[in-house]
Amino acid sequence: MSGWAILNWLAWAGCAVFAVLLTIDFVRVERGRKGSDDEPEGGA
């Protein structure tokens, strides 16, 4: 496998890492939000 092909796979791996990080945090926040349904949404 050439160096460029390895780089391509590393880029895919990086995509997976960021997608997983975003998903984990999103699920955690949404589960926390379910527990406090009366919480007001954005606005000051």
Q: Is 43 in the site for other proteins (CB under 8 A)?
A: yes
Size of the site for other proteins (CB under 8 A): 25
What is the contact mask toward other proteins in residues 1 to 40, using x (rule: CB under 8 A)?
-x-xx-xx--xx-xx--xx-xx--xx--x--xx----xxx
Whether the CB-CB separation of 2 and 8 falls below 8 Å is answered with no
Q: Who contacts 33 (Cβ-Cβ below 8 Å, separation ≥6)?
A: 39
Contact residues toward other proteins (CB under 8 A) are: 2, 4-5, 7-8, 11-12, 14-15, 18-19, 21-22, 25-26, 29, 32-33, 38-44
